Structures are given as C-alpha cells and as structure tokens.
Amino acid sequence: MKQQKERAELFNVMAQDAVRIASAWLQERLPDRFGPADPTLDEQSNLWRVPIVLAYPGIVVGEVGEILIDAESWEVVSHTDIEKVKALGLELGRKHRAKVRAAFLRARNA
C-alpha cells in the first residue's frame, strides 16, 4: 500500500513537470489562449502525452493538438504542427464564439 502511495505521489510530480515543460514550450510558440491539459504517461513508449487546448477565462473550448515529452530526458520529442494548432484553434473559436463571449462576460462581471 505504501509503495502504491509513493508511486502515485511520484507520478503526480512527474505529471506536473510535463505540464511545466509543455507550458514553457507553448509560451514560446503560441498565443496565451493555448495551454496544456492533464498529461497521461504512455508507459510503453515512456512518453508523456500532453494535450494542447484552446482556453479562455473560465472555459476550455477544446483540444487542438498534442505535445510528446520524453519521460527520461524531459525533451519535447514531437508535437502537432503549429500551423495546424492555430487553424484548429481558429475553427474551434469560431464554432464556440457564443460560449467564449459568455465566459468573458462572466469573468468581467465577477
């Protein structure tokens, strides 16, 4: 039982590291409305899969890509093409325009 708890705690720390790395990588390449979501560890390939999401204050609009991070070296080894991420973001933003506007109004009025 203790070993499971230690593994879970280690997993959470590693997941936070994957989010931090993905966040820094995204910040260098995309506008602030793109960010990382909860990562999953692909134990077979030893990679963290970090979804890229389009988000605004108070709302996550949807997933627009993925970043793969090596779980040992902590290097970004692959990612969805930046232009594809931007195009999917634009498409989702248009599709959910009313929800995005409502989220901005709620944030402004809070």
Q: What is the CATH number of the domain that holds 92?
A: 3.10.450
First and final C-alpha spacing in the chain: 44
Residue range 32-56, pLDDT digits in tens:
899 999 999 998 998 999 999 999 8
Total structural domains within the chain? 1
Rounded Cα gap, residues 53 and 62, in angstroms? 5
Rounded Cα gap, residues 105 and 110, in angstroms? 8
Residue range 74-89, pLDDT digits in tens:
999 999 999 999 999 9
Contact 69, 47 (CB under 8 A): yes
Contact 15, 39 (CB under 8 A): yes
Indicate the pTM of the whole model: 0.85
Range of the domain at 10: 2-109
Residue owning tokens 């966040």: 23
